[in-house]
Structure 1
Amino acid sequence: MTTVAVVYFSGSDHTHLMAEAVAAGASKVSGTTVELHRITGEQIIKGRWKDDAMMEKINLSDAIIFGSPTYMGGVAAQFKAFIDAASGIWARQGWKNKLAGGFTHSGSPSGDKEGTLLYLVTNAAQHSMIWIGSGEMRQSDGTNRLGSYIGVMGQADPDFTGTKPIEVDPGDLKTSELYGQRIAELTQSFRK
């Protein structure tokens, strides 16, 4: 049995919907346990993220898939607080050789989402993790419609009125699901 942890922050629930799709894809792989770990503002006390129980579960996973919306060209402050809190794990290389992946969402077609994914890759490299790219070509059914290969990108036009339901493009959700499945399959192969 392998465990895939999906660790994410979501400010407006777009990234949450992508996290659920990633988890659904990973859950399709027999012998895989998937755990969703949502970072919240309440876990940040005096500027520092702290949730020992969540961190302990994440530490026990075989793969970690990171997710954050792209805010101003990078990860959300709440997600960055989580990454900073993992510096003790980095110091002892506690995530070494775990598989890693990442996803992001923004309101603009580009939105500098690549900067967020590159930050997630850099973090994984510092932890000596093994990064997994999206593995999907851009297809006419909407799969990888934004053409991201380093991880998964999602995009929805911003609703500044707050009156529209929160939705993620079906192609972005499909890409997220395929990504979760890919990482779960590779995790099982890698752990044999």
Structure 2
Amino acid sequence: MSVTDLVSSAPVHVCVVYHSPYGHTAKVAQYIAQGAEQAGADVHLISVAAVQWELLDQADIIIIGCPTYMGSLTSALKQFMEDSSKRWLARAWLGKLAAGFTNGGGLSGDKLAVLQQINLFAMQHGMLWAGLPFMPTGRSQQDINRMSSFLGLMTQSDNAGVEVTPPEGDLETARKFGKYLVELKADY
């Protein structure tokens, strides 16, 4: 077996970092993780309440998400970003693949602003950004990328409980996104 074979057979290491006060964003993170696992990745879900910095340092892909609150990140995710400053200074995450996701109650709710903030954070770290590549298939709750987002994953949860929202189309988009990111990393 050659060195190239060993490198290509090594699993891709994925960390999905999230803040989820009510469980909806955690549910989306779990579906992203499912998709990444289906593609053969070693996946770790990491709540910002218990950050595992060593896992993040070893990751090939870091996917970051939180709810959209008042058109912005949650304070807990912002604190995670600020706490990463030693890694920023050391360029510890340089060249890692990065992606973002957000969930909110409204169909818009300024989710794009959250994805832009996560994107800028990844760029500050020298990470490589991967957007959501899926064409919208419609606007029903069963459709893929129903919110027509391309910078990252947007999902929507109304006031119903986490057991019924986000809807199936959003969760399937999340699953496909996780799988896509692992396959993308394997290609480069």
**Under a length normalisation based on structure 2, what TM-score does the superposition of the two structures give?**
0.89
- The residue type equivalent to 2:158 in the other structure is D
C-alpha displacement at 1:176, in angstroms? 0.6
Paired residues in the alignment total: 175
Per-residue deviation, residues 56-93 of structure 1 (Å, max 9, x unmatched): 11111001000111111111111111110001111111
Tell me the residue number matched to 1:110.
108
Tell me the residue number matched to 1:142.
143
Tell me the residue number matched to 2:46.
37
| Larger strand fraction of residues | 1
Tell me the residue number matched to 1:151.
152
Separation in 2 of the partners of 1:73 and 1:93?
A: 29
C-alpha displacement at 1:10, in angstroms? 0.4
Tell me the residue number matched to 2:167.
169
Map 1:56-135 → 2, pairs under 5 A: 56-135=54-133
**Under a length normalisation based on structure 1, what TM-score does the superposition of the two structures give?**
0.87
- Contact conserved, 1:96 with 1:127, CA < 8 A, in 2? yes
Tell me the residue number matched to 2:24.
14
- The residue type equivalent to 1:11 in the other structure is P
Distance 1:158 1:16, change over 3 A: same
Separation in 2 of the partners of 1:157 and 1:84?
A: 30
Separation in 2 of the partners of 1:165 and 1:173?
A: 12
Separation in 1 of the partners of 2:162 and 2:157?
A: 11
Unpaired runs of 5+ residues, structure 1, are 44-50
Tell me the residue number matched to 2:7.
none
- The residue type equivalent to 1:145 in the other structure is R
Separation in 1 of the partners of 2:164 and 2:90?
A: 40
- Contact conserved, 2:137 with 2:146, CA < 8 A, in 1? yes
- The alignment's C-alpha RMSD in Å is 1.4
- The residue type equivalent to 2:62 in the other structure is I
Separation in 1 of the partners of 2:38 and 2:184?
A: 13
Q: 2:34 aligns with which of 20, 24, 30?
A: 24
Tell me the residue number matched to 1:48.
none
- Contact conserved, 1:13 with 1:166, CA < 8 A, in 2? no
Separation in 2 of the partners of 1:73 and 1:55?
A: 28
Unpaired runs of 5+ residues, structure 2, are 1-10
Separation in 2 of the partners of 1:118 and 1:164?
A: 26
Query: Aligned to 1:173, what secondary structure does the other structure show?
Result: helix
